[in-house]
Structures are given as structure tokens and as C-alpha cells.
Amino acid sequence: RWPSLLKYYSHSDSVSWLEEYKARHNAGLEAQRIVASFSKRFFSEHVPCDGFSDIETLGCPSHFFEDELMCILNMEGRKGLTWKYYAKKILYFLRQQNILKNLKEYLQRPTERQSFLEGAVLIDQYCNPLSDICLKSVQAQVDDITDKVRKVLRTKNPRHPSLASKAGEVFIPEVELQRQVLDAMNCVLYEQLKYKGNELDYYNSLNSYIHQVLIRRTGIPISLSVLYLTIARQLGVKLEPVNFPSHFLLRWCQGKEGSTDIFDYTYIDAFGKGKQLTVKECEYLIGHHVTEEFYGVVTSKEVLQRMVGNLLNLGKRESTDQSYQLLRDSLDLYLAMYPDNVQHLMLQARLYFHLGIWPEKVLDILQHIQALDPSQHGAVGYLVQHTLEHIERRKEELGPEVKHRSDEKHKEVCFSIGLIMKHKRYGYNCVIYGWDPACMMGHEWIRNMNVHSLPHGPHQPFYNVLVEDGSCRYAAQENLEYNSEPREIPHPDIGRYFSEFTGLHYLANTELEIRYPEDLELTRATVQKIYSSGKE
């Protein structure tokens, strides 16, 4: 019935299968109940930070609950879109909470037990909680590369000590034997497997995720360095990470172990096909002189900090993602490592404030900032005032606004909820999820969007549309037309508003239908008229 649960059992377990079945069945019913309640509770707002409280106190095994959520997400066909939307949100939350717990446990270990690879996997998992990423699988892929290196090494030196040892068991002290390992690694990684630095698409977040580096065989200096260092250590060569500015490097000791002289080391550029560099060549790499401190070794926590810092910068650049998910995830990770960093706490508070979500959490963050750094009282006071106003406005909000097409003021509205449309000017495909009888945006937006240049200006119906590129837009009626070839719109919020795609249009879910009670009938009639006549 639930084959994905097999991994939680072994053949030697003595299990009461009837009791297990009952527990899984009941967990499924509980998951369905919670998912079904989310649309009604959170349709008009972002799921609040306390919205998951009843999930955190589940009376059933969490892996059974997650399994039911996966069953919902894997439902075939174009139905159950709203269930899938909220199941995904709940699963995202549950997995991130678990990964954050694992990260905090990892950070509390002694430094020598903090594997660089495991740290990279934890970051990858947190930013991609719905992907099937696990340390065991990633380690198996790295082991496979290591075995390939051993094969090359065997042809060069059949008596090499790393061939007789198991992963990481032996440290090879002779520099020449270490050099043979690194040469074999460069041969396998860069010549046989064609790994390379991603110069053409450097700022793609996939370059930072270790499972994607292994799949795509490309990355940025720090992700390729983690892979390179892990393989080298498994073969007895102790490379160390160097937090070099603008270009992460590894160092390889040529002198006395633990030397503090930067000239006793050769520096390795994993991004540049394992090229070995002198101190002077490192400076040529970035184009300027740096002080000795930048050649020093860094801890696993500092490596993770730099990886997360890269993702933070990418999150700030991603203007197309209106939910700022990468920025939110990377801020969570950074603050898990450095919970009292005022700069990043303030960024998190400003981000939630900008998105209009979690005002209660914003107040908690601001209170924490004020306690850490009283000099921030000006910025904190401004945000506190506006956040409290937001909370008060939310309390004053009445029930949902219901728009009847039969109202005289709506007689000019031609299109209805769920229709697949095309923008006449920009050519994008979209689906309507809301409308106004005239433009309801402020004067500044109307001026910036040059609405007055339209023949009917702002005095015509405007439509809220979900666009195929993942954005949400507000389009004038005269700029929209029926799409002659309707197709699904791949938008992350489609399930928030619609329960099903019929092949020609979307069906509004219960909450959207409450707000536009007469649209469904019109949508069906319109679709029948347009597409049946087209077929004839």
C-alpha cells in the first residue's frame, strides 16, 4: 500500500503489521484533515508562522504523516491542485524544521567530526527540502569518483599506500606520493568526468548545491573545493580550505605539518581544473595583493558561512522570485549559525515586513535586535510602528469581498475567473484569478505603468493574472485576449486559487468561488462557445 515506507523497516524487526497499518491509516486521515483546513484558514494571507502549530504537536509518527503528504503531491492528473499546494507548503515546513535541527546538532559537534561534505549536504537539503537528497547518496557518488581515482593511481603506482587502505583511514606523509594522488584526481575529475568551473552561468544557485554539482559536473570555487577536498582526504591527502577573497581555494602543505608560513603551502584552484598555485599566482588570480591572514585555514563552520553567504547574495539578486524563497532560506541558515548577527536579523525583519507576512515574528526579531544593539532604536522603532499598524488593519478587515457579475458596476467586465488568456502586447500566457471593474492601483503605479497611454486608460476592467513565468500581474482588459491554445500555467501559486485544470480552463477552488460566485458558470459558457466553435 505504501512502498516508500519500506526503508523504515528491516527484515529482522518484529513488527505488529496491523498496528503499523492502523497508525499509517490514521496519520493519513490526520494529514488530509489538516491539508483540507489550510485553504479556508489561510486563503487570504500567507500561512503565518504559528499556522503549523497543530502539525508540530502531531500524535502520529512524522514519517507516516510525511508519506501521506507525498501521496497527495504525487496524485496523478490535473485535479487536487489546492490540496497539492498546501501539502507542499506543509512538507516544506516539516522537512526544513528537521534539517535545521540536524544542522544545529552538526554545529555542536567537535570540529574534527564536522565533515565538510555533510555540511554542504545540509545546506543543499534546507534550500531544496522537497528534493530527494541524503548524505548517504551523495557520499556514494563521491566514493564512486574516489574508486575511479584509485584505478588511475594503480596504473601509475601499483604499490601506492592509498590503494590498500579504506576511505580516510591513512594519512600519506610523503609529498611525492600525495602529488601522485592529486595528479590522478585531476585526471579523473577534469579529463575523464569533465568537471569544470561554471564560468558561463556563475550566479546560478544550482552551482552551490552539492547534489547538483555531482549531476551537472560544474559549480563555483567553494562547491568544487568541498568535493575536491573530500576525495583527497579519502585518499590520504590532507588538503585544507582557504577563505581566499573572491575565489575559494584549498592549500596543500609542502613543509612541516601545521606550518604558519604561507610559503610552505601550494594552493589549489578546484574551479580551475585543480591548478596548483604559488602565493604570487593566487594574487594574480584575483588581481590584487592580500595580507597573510587570507591564506589561513578556516573551520567547517566558516566554510558553511561562506556557502550560505553566496546564496544570500544570489537571493538578493533574484528579482523574478516574488516570494524571495532563496533569500528567506539562506537567512534562516545564516541565523541558525549566528543567531545574534544584528545585520542579518534586521534584513530578515525588513524582508518579512516587505512581504507583509508574519508580523508577530517581525516584532519578536525587532525586540531581539533592540536587546542586542540599542543603537538600532531608530530603524527598530520605525518598523515596530508600521508592523503594529499592519496587525491592527488585519484585525479590522471584514470577511471576503464578494463580486457579483450581475451588479450594474460590473457590466463592463468581459472575462471571468479561470480563463486562459494571452497578453496582446507582451505575448505571455496567463490565467485570471481576480478582477476589478476599474484599475484599483494608486496614482504612482498608474503613472509608472503608463496606463493613461491606453485608449481606455484606468477606466476599464483590470485583471489579476498568474503568468507562466511565475509572476503575478495586473492587466488591462483591452490588453488581454482568449488564448487559442489553452494550456496549463506553471505558476507556484496556481493551487492557492484553483482546484483543477480541465484542459481548457481552471476551476476555482471553494475559497475563490466564494469571492466570485457567478464566474464559474460564465467561464464554462465562454469556453464552450470559443473552443467548440473553433473545432467546428
Dump pLDDT digits (tens) for 507-526. 999 999 999 999 999 999 99
State how beta strands 498-501 and 506-508 pair.
Answer: antiparallel
For the chain, how many structural domains are there in total? 4
Neighbour-count burial for 395-430, b at 16+ CB within 10 Å, e otherwise = eeeeeeeebeeeeeeeeebebbbbbbbbbeeeebbb
Average pLDDT of the segment spanning 73-94? 91
Average pLDDT of the segment spanning 424-430? 95
State the pLDDT confidence band at 536, using cuts at 50, 70 and 90: very low
Range of the domain at 158: 135-303
Computed over every residue of the chain, the mean pLDDT equals 91
Quick one: 353 and 376 in the same domain?
A: yes
Reading the block at residue 16, the C-alpha cell is 505488529
Element (H, E) at 390: helix 377-396
What is the amino acid identity at position 398? Answer: L
Question: Rounded to an integer, what distance in angstroms lies between the CA atom of residue 445 and that of residue 442?
Answer: 6
Quick one: 166 and 255 in the same domain?
A: yes
Question: Rounded to an integer, what distance in angstroms lies between the CA atom of residue 316 and that of residue 442?
Answer: 26
pLDDT digits (tens, 9 = 90+) for 103-139: 999 999 999 899 999 999 999 999 999 998 999 999 9
Quick one: 97 and 158 in the same domain?
A: no
Question: What's residue 535's pLDDT?
Answer: 45
Quick one: 254 and 345 in the same domain?
A: no
Asked, for residue 299, whether it belongs to a domain, the answer is yes
pLDDT digits (tens, 9 = 90+) for 30-48: 999 989 988 887 776 666 5
Question: What's residue 324's pLDDT?
Answer: 87
State how beta strands 462-467 and 265-269 pair.
Answer: unpaired
91, 119 contact by CB (below 8 A): no
95, 130 contact by CB (below 8 A): yes
**Lowest mean pLDDT across 11-15, 21-25, 440-444:** 11-15
Asked, for residue 118, whether it belongs to a domain, the answer is no
pLDDT digits (tens, 9 = 90+) for 457-470: 999 999 999 999 98
Quick one: 288 and 380 in the same domain?
A: no
Average pLDDT of the segment spanning 444-453? 94
Listed residues 108, 123, 150: the one ending a domain? 108
473: CATH: 2.30.30.390
Quick one: 505 and 378 in the same domain?
A: no
Quick one: 430 and 355 in the same domain?
A: no
230, 143 contact by CB (below 8 A): no
Asked, for residue 64, whether it belongs to a domain, the answer is yes
**Percent of the residues in the chain that have a pLDDT greater than 90, as a whole number:** 74
Listed residues 303, 324, 349: the one ending a domain? 303
Q: Is the pLDDT of residue 167 over 70?
A: no
